[in-house]
Chains A and B, each alone.
Chain A
Amino acid sequence: MSKGLQDIARELLEKGEVQVVVGWGAVKADPDRTRPILVTDPDEVGELVWNPRCVNNLAVYLTKAKSDVQALGKAAIVAKGCDVKAITGLIQEMQFSRDDLVIIGVACKGVVSDGSLWQGELTEENRDLKCRFCDVRTPRTYDHLVGEEVPPVDAEDDWKDVRELEEKTPRERWDYWQEQFERCIRCYACRQACPFCYCTRCIADKTLPRWIESGQHPRANLAWNIIRAMHLAGRCVECGECERVCPVGIPLNLLNRELAKEVAVEYGYRAGYDSEAPPPFATYREEDDQSFIR
């Protein structure tokens, strides 16, 4: 499978169609793990791999937050269907246009983020939550496809995780999130790994005035995590990267999905499917409900 990928990458680099291929490569000390690599030399395409441990959403390297990567030149990106959702969202938000990029899509049956569950193969039990209802196992747009097309999973998102949360009383939900956020160390790995957190200066880093205290105490942690979730509402494509990278295991994607469900119910919209769609929170229509403005 990785072979086709390497051939495509080599050709793109050799022909000068792109200057860099953003892909996954093995972590040397733990070859069961992969990590993002930037391949600029056609002779190094052998480092590219594609397997169910290719969890990183590489779309993050396409944003202006990672300008040093863009300085390498035009990029080809290796992307799963869910990563392509992020690319679609970024195009919709006018971060770049489709022509600026070559997408090497990979047909995907799922990934395994939790290394402790990995026994050498993908199973029903170890694959990520997002993969259980995936409708983009063949990416919705690509220039080259690695592997045979994979049909979508024959099941719709049941929002089970979100419904369980909603069944709690407001007090219980409050306590639950307080307990979770309490241990946030404010490392901002969630933000740095997120393709949609590309602000040049995040509100959390602003100091004049300081909107969010940098102290890692419950008051500030709550402010940080809620603000981030709100800034991602209607934009987050539920790739789960923030949750995966959180070093203290806060279930961030549950929070994202709570908001995604609100947006799906209230606006009939899910992010990452259509780069032409008007984004729900950046669009004004005269017939919008205004009764709440007094």
Chain B
Amino acid sequence: MEHRTLAGDGLPALIDELIKKGMRVIAPTQRNGDLAFGQVSSSAEAVLDYFLCKRSAKEIVFPRTEAILGFDRSGGEVKVEPPSMQFPETVVVGARPCDAASLPILDHIFTWDCDDELFTRRREATTVIGLTCTTADNFCFCTSVGLSPDNTAGSDILLTQLEDGQFFVEVVTDKGEKLAAELGELFREGGDESARQKAGEKARALVTRSVDVSKAKGWLDDHFDDEMWESWMTCLGCGACTFVCPTCHCFDIVDEVQGLSGHRCKNWDACTFWHFTVHASGHNPRDVQYKRYRQRILHKFRYYKDRFGVTLCTGCGRCSRHCPVGIDIAEVLETAAGSAAS
């Protein structure tokens, strides 16, 4: 790992330099009163003194909706148009470690039985500059899923602000190395490693919540049926948790048609929805809401782990923060881990 320090006035200079070099820069930006990842045309639009965006960064590689093909039969026969696979070179600046870490987790599913090129090509075209956290709340539990507020997973470059205000630069991947080389002067050689360690410790101390996720998994492994699930009957069956989650990745394939032409679209979907599992016959194997909520937990902490060896959660706490009825995922895991102990 190469260590450097960000020169000049830090982040704004970095963003403006990337834009000058013709790259598409995505950063947290304020749009109509909502802070979200979006393209910025100058550093002035980026908000990097922030906690977390409400929506995660997954949209950058897994948009809410996208056409997987276009079709048109206005001329009599059906013409099929494949989607464009040209994705502009993109740099995400300021992703928090729990956002960045979702990308390698998602790689598993999108390259599993087939290569979802819309995802993988976007992913290839995207370089992530992560930013160590400076705040956390009671819903954060990244340290319980093997991550941390200064973790490099998913970042090609990680920036950590030191006590003196300077940014310590860790170049993590080859992609990060390539970008660092292009940025040349902006990254000064060398950095104060002990100050970096100190900043990391400080950041890690912000996360006070700790859940024994492997113990919870042990319990989940053989408690598909348990009254614990029924205690979350208050779940409303919305998609707020799944749609703000950086790792939830379910989608539906639907045709959106206007007249004789249209698009076949890949649209976000959610296991917490009633109609997610309803059969054509009308039968629904997940007939009540707690069973749908159970699926969300089991997929994240049991099935995904069994299949790919990683947990489908970065501990960002978004689902708990935005749940209309205050269902706290860490508490659900704590309950599971607690039951395993007894």
Contacts and interface: CB of A to CB of B under 8 A. Distances in A.
Do chains A and B interact in one complex?
yes
Interface of A: 27-30, 33-38, 56, 60-61, 66-69, 179-180, 183, 185-189, 191-193, 205, 210, 213-217, 220, 241, 244-245, 247-249
A-B residue pairs, 3 tightest by C-beta: A35-B326, A245-B324, A216-B64
A192 B327 CA distance: 15
Contacts of B288: 67-68
A27 B34 CA distance: 25
Interface stretch (B71-79, B117-125, B150-158, B237-245): B237-245
Contacts of B270: 187
B290 A186 contact: no
Contacts of A188: 238-239, 273
Given A187-B244, A215-B64, A248-B54, 14 more contacts: A29-B209, A30-B138, A56-B324, A66-B236, A66-B289, A185-B64, A188-B238, A192-B237, A193-B324, A213-B254, A214-B267, A217-B65, A220-B256, A245-B240
A67 B83 CA distance: 43
Contacts of B237: 192
B138 A247 contact: no
Contact of B55 (A38, A185, A186, A244): A185
B239 A187 contact: yes
Nearest to B231: A38
Contacts of B137: 30
Nearest to B234: A36
B55 A248 contact: yes
Given A29-B320, A38-B233, A187 B240 contact: yes
A186 B327 CA distance: 20
Contacts of A34: 326
Interface residues of B, number: 46
Chain A interface secondary structure, helix, strand, loop or mixed? mixed
B116 interface: no
Contact of A215 (B239, B267, B328): B267
A28 B234 contact: no
A176 to B, nearest CB: 9
Contacts of B54: 247-249
Contacts of B296: none
A215 B65 contact: yes
Interface string B19-33: 000000000000111
Given A189-B240, A192-B237, A210 B254 contact: yes
Contacts of B32: 179-180, 183
B208 to A, nearest CB: 10
A244 B324 contact: yes
A183 B34 contact: yes
Contacts of A213: 254, 256
Contacts of A241: 324
Contacts of A245: 238, 240, 324
A60 B290 CA distance: 16
B243 A29 contact: no
B138 A205 contact: no
Contact of A189 (B236, B275, B289): B236
Contact of B244 (A28, A191, A247): A247
B103 interface: no
B233 A68 contact: yes
A61 B234 contact: yes
Given A69-B233, A186-B239, A215 B256 contact: yes
Nearest to B335: A28
Given A68-B289, A183-B32, A216-B267, A27 B328 contact: yes
A33 B288 CA distance: 26
A34 B252 CA distance: 34
B206 interface: no
Contacts of A214: 252, 254, 267, 269
A149 B137 CA distance: 37
Nearest to B289: A68
B139 interface: yes
A129 to B, nearest CB: 15
B265 interface: yes
Contacts of B289: 66, 68
B243 A185 contact: yes
Contact of B290 (A36, A68, A191, A220): A68
11 contacts: A30-B137, A37-B234, A183-B36, A186-B64, A189-B239, A192-B238, A213-B254, A214-B269, A244-B324, A247-B322, A248-B36
A188 B326 CA distance: 16
A128 B263 CA distance: 43
Nearest to B236: A192
B138 A186 contact: no
B138 A187 contact: no
